[in-house]
Structure 1
Amino acid sequence: MRPPAFLIVLASILSAWAPARQATAQASVGWIEIEGALADKPSPFGWLMGEPEPTLLDVVAGIDAAADRDDVDALLLRLREPALTMTQVEEMARAVARVRDAGKPVHLFTEIYGPAELALGAACDEVILQEGGAVSFPGLHVEEMFLADTLAWLGLKMDYVQIGKYKGAEEQLGRSAPSEAWDENISQLLDSLYDAMRAPILAGRGLTERRLDRAMQEAFFASGRRAIDAGLIDAEVDRLDLPAHLEHAYGGAITYRSNLLPDGRSGPGADALANPFAIFQLLASEPDTGPTRPTIAVLDIDGPIVDGESQPAGLLGGASVGSLTIREALKRIEDEPLIKGVVVRINSPGGSAIASESIWLGLRRVAEAKPVWVSVGSMAASGGYYIAVGGEKIYLCPSSIVGSIGVVGGKLVMGGAYQKLSVNVVPRDRGPAAGLMSTLEPWTDSQRELIRERMTETYDLFVSRVQAGRPGIDIDKTAEGRLFAGQRAIEMGLADEIGGLDDAIRDLAARAGLAEGAYDVMHYPGPKSIQELIEQSLGGFGLSAPGARGDRGGGLDLAVAAMRELVGPRAWPGLRDAMAALWTLRTEPVTLTAPRVLLRR
């Protein structure tokens, strides 16, 4: 079995860097390289290619391996063009602390430091910048778009009804400026996120509030020397001199250990695809998805929540979470005796009310036989939080966003646009409510009352689910669309504990009586077969909704690519998921989503 390509490259780099070694190395430094974004779950193609990209859990496990292994004296984390979220960094920082608690120094090296990288660096012993690199830590900047005037100019209007005055559904597309309620909601949320951004820097770098204020003023875009003087980093070193820098720190030659990440390869590898006969074997093969010993299942809820099957990519390139797919996975989890507990990992702004309720029901069925806990990544809002309260215990990170207990209903009214374009539309209805979702006219008073009645029923059900899952919660102070982050969410009763996915898994395993190292972790829904992957690839180019079928024009592809480039790799996933969640309004008049587009910089 050949080693992963990045390890081959790494070995060649290290051999080029390293001078002639002494017979006995004085220190052994573990090396973990993280490139680009980290996924929470394995790629569906990973079992096929044999060289899966490391996940967040893999990286955390690798960091923990550095703490546990006797042949590792220190750890170097190397970031290459990182696109890490703040919550991922917070999870990694907890693992870094365990390495330092084991008496082993941790070094961090990259070319450009932003807020997330600095937060990770604050957990380390030494923060090293590539010579000539830059540090940028100006603060938290959010741009909210209010498009009512733009839509009116185009002859369009969003006709919204929302339950919960803080929900903010009508703000984006129905107003020209924020309402007082939304301004209050978003302002307190940003205060929490800003405090969570500063806290690790204050604690890890030993800075006072005043000195950090000065450092941020200096480091809106700072050189290495300015960042060192500001107390944000420790050293500026060219990457080719990094081995010498570490050797100087440890007093002699160093042995590098680059095998810390778990080896999850089990597939045939890319080379097998070059063999035409092997391809036919692959078409008939199935991924290995069954546990072979006691297991903790991780159920991934990653993306907007929709009815039907999950799709790997939709209109905007993001995956969707289908209720049917999740219920099938929950049935497998329920029926498998080797699975001793479930951690539901949620990164979702919400979506379909019907799908959210279906998944909640499935979780409660499993919970009758096995413990169900929840780990929140960046967000579990609206329908995402609906699912979260189906678990017994909720973990989240300091920057995780939860809440948005409210309901949205609406449609896009296009009658004005049709007139501008001289398009004559003749509606033909059969049935008393057939034209309810017509795009020609806003709702009448009676139609609006009907929608509000159904939405109130959904809201009451949502609140009852929250009260059942979070006994003692004060709905008057937490519902109606309010958003909370991290520690504030715990104080308000929406979550239980600060911790990452690995913490939830480890604690649940202990609860189930499983000794460390005596159980496996498996993600659900599991990887798909070759035939399923091909079918999804051919059918996943929808235009009308995430995962819908049809042809997608090159112009739309270019527009999506341009939007992704404009907002950047960190902001794009949130923008993509929020916009995809809004698409559910085209087919469902009532949804559980957080329909906000916030560009955080």
Structure 2
Amino acid sequence: MVPRVPTRKTWLILMAVAIALPHTSLAAKKLLRVRLDGPILEAPSEDAALAALFGAQPPRTLYNCTREIQKAADDAEIAGIALIIEQPRMSFAQLEEMCDALRDFRKTGKKVYAFMDYASNGSYALAAAADHITLAEYSGLEIVGLHAELSYYRGLLDKLGIEPQMLHCGDYKSAMEPFMRTEPSEPARENINWLLDGIFERWIELIAEGRGLSEEEVRAAVDAAPLHADQALERKLVDAVSSFEDFKRRIHKEFGKDVEVVKSLSKRGGLEIDMNNPFAMFELFGEILAGDQAGERKPGIALIYIEGPIAVGTNQSGPFASAMAGSTTLRAAFIKAAEDDAVKAVVVRVDSPGGSALASDIIWKAARRCASEKPLIVSMGGVAGSGGYYVSLPGDVIFADASTITASIGVVGGKLVWNGLFADKLGITTTEFDRGAHAGLSSMNRPWNEEELAWITDYLNRVYAQFKGRVMESRGDRIKGDLEEHAGGRVFTGRQALERGLIDRIGGLSDAIALAAQKAGLDDYEVYVLPEQKEPIDILREMFSGEPSKDEFEISGSAAVASNPLVSATLPLLQKLAPQQSGNLRRALTTLMILDRERVGCFMPFDLAIR
């Protein structure tokens, strides 16, 4: 049989089909470049909106980073990731979630190539999640292990004539020890050591799993560190030692010389203004004056951030903390999530060391009401302790990373008495006038008398009992063993908390969102961040109108901050202190700031600065 020769018409049809089919050659592939430098935020900041206003790159959030990697895993055009690790600043929990995202990406068969100029504890553990690690020539690997510092101020207070009067419920509730002691108590030492043991163990695991080494080999490398680049190569901790230019050549050899490197898979939302067009600004003014355009929204999940020390009032930037979680703002966010028909489930991301007992209970009640109407899943970040654990309790399911610092069920209270500084040291005397037997309860000029001390102690015990009651009400039969064995201020890692029934699952924010979507029956959905961030057009509208685009309230605690003598005396010195002590002092001052308004708080028993 003579084979048929295709006619000209047949060739044209075949050519049209070939053109219509998607191209799958390596030359058409793309490579996602992920550059990590600076802080990795939890909640979006207003800086993000300002950056988006003119199309600039906003500060990265953890959710944006992991979501970008997930999108790359699902994108058929993306062949791999070039991971450029400079000096990212993130918690150990965030580090775990980034590693999880990279491992999930690799499960699709795609590869991750990492480059580091210099590697420290956290940045190297992140790089270990890659297929291939290149370390810069003449560089080093400073994986020396975990180092923690606590600062104590009793010696300073004694020199200044300031008398600390501090109380606590629970032997392990040592949040006020920095003001009362010069070193940690034995229960505090015990708490710190088992916490560090848990985090160190997880850190070793991440490196061993990523590099295919035994934990013994990793521990030996840590004890031998810091390592020069060639020593790191000998120990199989990295795959290559070369310049960044050689790294780029290796990338093109692996993925093809024509591979397109893309910086982002997300569209930028900046306003496009042609500054050469004199009429462009009129178009901009028209958008500003037009206001919000309401429209039907896609079904989605509300993502509510509880970030920073917890205080009564609105979310704000604190003088000693990058963010303050305000009960007024968060209560409104939970109400909005419950009432919004587009919101089918709620995820609460908690990254907080606690704070005001009153504010924690206000948030707990609002979250509890929201959970009675819609699925509510909690995701714990780097820390969700004391008040941070309190506000997590309404979750149907609580996720934590293995290295999350959590629990710390207990309360503290107290005040500083300044009369010794003002009267004895500075010669400033004060005369007080009271109407009422206990009108001077909040006076900073004298300590509590026996009757007042008894009242404060009883108040602490009541709040502590309420805290434990909230735990049992929310978790009940999920608690393993007697709650008293896990309370008293004891702090645990996420993995340790799971063993005790204080949380439900090990996982990150992405896992929590996926479970919320599953419970709500959603396959295609949006994630709506609450409290709502200002849109770029809102910022411009405020600039031109002079009026806020949304209802705003001032937190009354600001006045207390400004009037606190320790705050005003210490603020100019903060920038001159060593970073480690500066961070410890900022956290201590935040504790005093909140106790300046309330005599009882739910704070972490300590705030470790681990590096």
Same fold (TM > 0.5): yes
Separation (CA, whole Å) in 1 of partners of 2:271 and 2:560: 34
Give the match for residue 482 of structure 1: 490
Which residue type is aligned with residue 324 of structure 2? S
Aligned partner (choices 575, 580, 585) of residue 567 of structure 1? 580
Give the match for residue 467 of structure 2: 462
Give the match for residue 15 of structure 1: none
Separation (CA, whole Å) in 2 of partners of 1:393 and 1:189: 23
What is the TM-score with the length of structure 1 in the denominator? 0.87
Q: Is 1:295 aligned with 2:297?
A: no
Aligned partner (choices 27, 37, 40) of residue 38 of structure 1? 40
Q: Deviations over 1:261-280 (max 9, x none)?
A: 433x44536888x9876776
Give the match for residue 513 of structure 1: 521
Which residue type is aligned with residue 499 of structure 2? E
* C-alpha distance 80-284 of structure 1, shift in aligned 2 (>3 A): farther
The Cα shift of 1:286 comes to 5.5
Separation (CA, whole Å) in 2 of partners of 1:319 and 1:524: 15
Retained in 2: the 8 A contact 1:47–1:266? no
Aligned partner (choices 584, 593, 599) of residue 583 of structure 1? 593
Deviates more, 1:407-416 or 1:31-40: 31-40
* C-alpha distance 325-541 of structure 1, shift in aligned 2 (>3 A): closer
Separation (CA, whole Å) in 1 of partners of 2:294 and 2:393: 27
Separation (CA, whole Å) in 1 of partners of 2:325 and 2:245: 44
Identity %: 34
What is the SS of the residue equivalent to 2:575? helix
Query: What pairs up with 1:407-418 in 2 under 5 angstroms?
Result: 407-418=411-422
Separation (CA, whole Å) in 2 of partners of 1:512 and 1:429: 57
The Cα shift of 1:556 comes to 6.1
Structure 2: gaps of 5 or more residues: 1-24
Give the match for residue 310 of structure 2: 305
Q: Is 1:144 aligned with 2:150?
A: yes
The Cα shift of 1:126 comes to 1.0
Aligned partner (choices 349, 371, 382) of residue 345 of structure 1? 349
Structure 1: gaps of 5 or more residues: 1-22
Give the match for residue 332 of structure 2: 328
Separation (CA, whole Å) in 1 of partners of 2:438 and 2:330: 32
Which residue type is aligned with residue 573 of structure 2? A
Which residue type is aligned with residue 425 of structure 2? K
Give the match for residue 181 of structure 1: 187
Deviates more, 1:105-114 or 1:344-353: 105-114
What is the SS of the residue equivalent to 1:449? helix
Aligned partner (choices 218, 222, 232) of residue 216 of structure 1? 222
Q: Deviations over 1:346-381 (max 9, x none)?
A: 010111111111111101111111011100110111
Retained in 2: the 8 A contact 1:47–1:287? no
Give the match for residue 396 of structure 2: 392
Separation (CA, whole Å) in 1 of partners of 2:354 and 2:450: 28
Which residue type is aligned with residue 526 of structure 2? D
Separation (CA, whole Å) in 2 of partners of 1:34 and 1:134: 18
* Structure of greater Rg: 2
* C-alpha distance 556-352 of structure 1, shift in aligned 2 (>3 A): same
Aligned partner (choices 363, 369, 380) of residue 376 of structure 1? 380
What is the SS of the residue equivalent to 2:301? strand
The Cα shift of 1:588 comes to 0.4
Deviates more, 1:115-124 or 1:480-489: 115-124
Query: What pairs up with 1:531-546 in 2 under 5 angstroms?
Result: none
Retained in 2: the 8 A contact 1:567–1:599? yes
Query: What pairs up with 1:3-402 in 2 under 5 angstroms?
Result: 25=27, 28-47=30-49, 49-50=52-53, 51=55, 52-220=58-226, 222-250=227-255, 252-258=256-262, 260-263=264-267, 265-266=268-269, 268=271, 284=289, 292-311=297-316, 313-402=317-406
* C-alpha distance 497-182 of structure 1, shift in aligned 2 (>3 A): same
The Cα shift of 1:214 comes to 2.1
* C-alpha distance 543-293 of structure 1, shift in aligned 2 (>3 A): closer
Retained in 2: the 8 A contact 1:32–1:261? no
What is the SS of the residue equivalent to 1:388? coil
Q: Is 1:593 aligned with 2:599?
A: no
* C-alpha distance 535-232 of structure 1, shift in aligned 2 (>3 A): farther
Retained in 2: the 8 A contact 1:46–1:267? no
Retained in 2: the 8 A contact 1:375–1:501? yes
* C-alpha distance 428-540 of structure 1, shift in aligned 2 (>3 A): closer
Give the match for residue 11 of structure 1: none
Q: Deviations over 1:127-168 (max 9, x none)?
A: 122223322111111111222122111111211111111110
Separation (CA, whole Å) in 1 of partners of 2:150 and 2:233: 34
What is the SS of the residue equivalent to 1:423? coil
Separation (CA, whole Å) in 2 of partners of 1:357 and 1:151: 32
Separation (CA, whole Å) in 1 of partners of 2:525 and 2:68: 17
Q: Deviations over 1:71-118 (max 9, x none)?
A: 122211112332122211211111111111111111111212111112
What is the SS of the residue equivalent to 2:590? helix
Separation (CA, whole Å) in 2 of partners of 1:267 and 1:32: 21
Separation (CA, whole Å) in 1 of partners of 2:486 and 2:594: 25
* C-alpha distance 287-271 of structure 1, shift in aligned 2 (>3 A): farther
Separation (CA, whole Å) in 2 of partners of 1:243 and 1:340: 45
The Cα shift of 1:239 comes to 1.3
The Cα shift of 1:447 comes to 1.1
Give the match for residue 4 of structure 2: none
* C-alpha distance 130-584 of structure 1, shift in aligned 2 (>3 A): same
What is the TM-score with the length of structure 2 in the denominator? 0.85
* C-alpha distance 257-214 of structure 1, shift in aligned 2 (>3 A): same
Give the match for residue 494 of structure 1: 502
Separation (CA, whole Å) in 1 of partners of 2:501 and 2:104: 28
Retained in 1: the 8 A contact 2:85–2:127? no
The Cα shift of 1:345 comes to 0.4
Retained in 2: the 8 A contact 1:316–1:580? yes
The Cα shift of 1:287 comes to 6.6
Taking only aligned residues, the RMSD between alpha carbons, in angstroms, comes to 3.1
Deviates more, 1:522-531 or 1:110-119: 522-531
**What count of residue pairs does the alignment treat as equivalent?**
567
Deviates more, 1:92-101 or 1:277-286: 277-286
* C-alpha distance 459-541 of structure 1, shift in aligned 2 (>3 A): closer
* C-alpha distance 45-34 of structure 1, shift in aligned 2 (>3 A): same
What is the SS of the residue equivalent to 1:102? coil
Q: Is 1:440 aligned with 2:460?
A: no
Retained in 2: the 8 A contact 1:27–1:253? no
* C-alpha distance 207-39 of structure 1, shift in aligned 2 (>3 A): same
Separation (CA, whole Å) in 1 of partners of 2:112 and 2:376: 34
What is the SS of the residue equivalent to 2:576? helix
Separation (CA, whole Å) in 2 of partners of 1:290 and 1:556: 50
Separation (CA, whole Å) in 2 of partners of 1:247 and 1:339: 44
What is the SS of the residue equivalent to 2:391? helix
Which residue type is aligned with residue 390 of structure 2? Y
What is the SS of the residue equivalent to 1:427? coil
Q: Deviations over 1:259-313 (max 9, x none)?
A: 54433x44536888x98767766765757898711110110001111111111x2
* C-alpha distance 364-288 of structure 1, shift in aligned 2 (>3 A): farther
Which residue type is aligned with residue 246 of structure 1? I
Which residue type is aligned with residue 466 of structure 1? V
Separation (CA, whole Å) in 2 of partners of 1:77 and 1:526: 31
The Cα shift of 1:476 comes to 1.3
The Cα shift of 1:578 comes to 5.5
Separation (CA, whole Å) in 2 of partners of 1:415 and 1:206: 61
Retained in 2: the 8 A contact 1:349–1:581? no
What is the SS of the residue equivalent to 2:574? helix
What is the SS of the residue equivalent to 1:592? strand
Separation (CA, whole Å) in 1 of partners of 2:313 and 2:154: 32
Separation (CA, whole Å) in 1 of partners of 2:487 and 2:567: 41
Which residue type is aligned with residue 105 of structure 1? K
